[in-house]
Amino acid sequence: MPPLKKIIKDAIAMHEAHHAERCTKDGLRALMQGKRVRAVDAADKEARRAGILDAAETLFKKTFEYANVSEVAREAGLAKGTVYLYFQTKEEMYLALHMRNAEGFFSELIADLDAGFPHGERKTIDFEYMRGLVVKHMFANEIYFPLVACCVGLPQDSVPAESALATKQLLTSWLLRAGVGLERHFPQLQSGEGVRILNHSYALMIGLYHLLGDHNHAPQRPDIGMNSFREEALIGLTRYWQATLGDLNLK
C-alpha cells in the first residue's frame, strides 16, 4: 500500500478537482492545467475502471507478467492513489482483467444457448460451434492463456476476500447457466454434466499451456512428439468431447 501521507494528498487533490469536473468547461480547464479529474457517477467510475484495466493489459502484453500499480497508474495517466481506489493489489487488478476476457466467451455462449444469438444469425450449437468460440475468445487473444497462467494459484490473501468472493460467485453463475444450456443442446449430458465438461475442457487447455505454452517457465516442455500449444489443445478438446458425447460429425 502507498504511504498514508501520499493517500491523503491524493484524496485532497481529487476532492479539489471535484468541482472542476462538474461542467465541461471547468473540466477542460483542469485537464489543460494538468490536474487529474475525479470520476463521480457510475458511468464515469466504470470508464475509469476500464481505463485502468486497459493500461494493465497494455503493459502485460509487453512482458506477460504483472506490472506494479505505479506502472499501471503511469500508463493510465492517473495518480497511484486513484488506482488504489479501484484495486487494492496488482493481483486483484489482473484477476479482474482475466474475468473481463472470460466474460466475452461466457456472454456469447450463454446468449446463444438461450437462443438470443446477439452476435450474428442463428447458429447450430454443436462441437464445431464450441471449438470456434474457444478460438475466437481465447486463442485469438494473445494474453488470454499467459494471464490465466499467472492467475492460477495466486498467493493467499493477494486478492481481498470480498473481491475474491465476488469473482467466484460471478464465475459460478456463468458456469451454471452455460452448463444447463449445454445439457439442453446435448441430450447425452446428464444433469450437472454440462458444468463438468466446461471445467474439464478448461483444465485440459490450462494444463497443456503450462506444458507447451510459449513462455519461459516450462523447462519440462517436450522436444518431440508435440505440436504447438494451440494445435495440441484443439486435438485434446476434440478427443475429450468425442469420448464424452460420441460421434461429433466433424468435418
Domain ranges of the chain: 4-86, 90-245
Q: How far is CA 114 from CA 10, 108, 132, 134, 180, in A?
A: 46, 10, 18, 18, 10
Instruction: Pull the grid cell for residue 229.
Output: 500449444
Q: How far is CA 183 from CA 90, 111, 179, 190, 194, in A?
A: 37, 15, 6, 7, 6
Handedness of CA 175, 177, 180, 181 (dihedral sign): negative
φ/ψ of residue 172, rounded to 5:
-60, -40
φ/ψ of residue 117, rounded to 5:
45, 55
pLDDT of the residue at 38: 57
Contact 248, 227 (CB under 8 A): no
Based on DSSP, count helices (H) and strands (E) in the chain, helices before strands: 11, 0
- pLDDT tens-digit map of 96-135: 999 999 999 999 999 989 876 555 566 788 899 999 999 9
Mapping DSSP to helix (H, G, I), strand (E, B) and coil, where does residue 112 land? helix
The 8-class DSSP code of residue 138 comes to I
Contact 48, 38 (CB under 8 A): no
- pLDDT tens-digit map of 26-74: 443 443 444 455 556 788 899 999 999 999 999 999 999 999 999 999 9
Q: What average pLDDT does the structure give for the chain?
A: 82
Stated length of the chain: 251
Q: Is the pLDDT of residue 11 over 60?
A: no
The per-residue b/e assignment along 52-70, b for 16 or more CB within 10 angstroms, e otherwise, is bbebbbebbeeebebbebe
Report the alpha-carbon distance of residue 40 to residue 136 in Å, rounded: 35
pLDDT of the residue at 39: 54
Q: Whole-model pTM?
A: 0.78
Instruction: Summarize the confidence of residues 193-219 as an average pLDDT.
Output: 85
Return contacts of 71-76, CB within 8 angstroms, 24+ apart.
Answer: 76/51, 76/52
Helix, strand, coil percentages (3-state) for the chain, rounded to 5, are 70, 0, 30
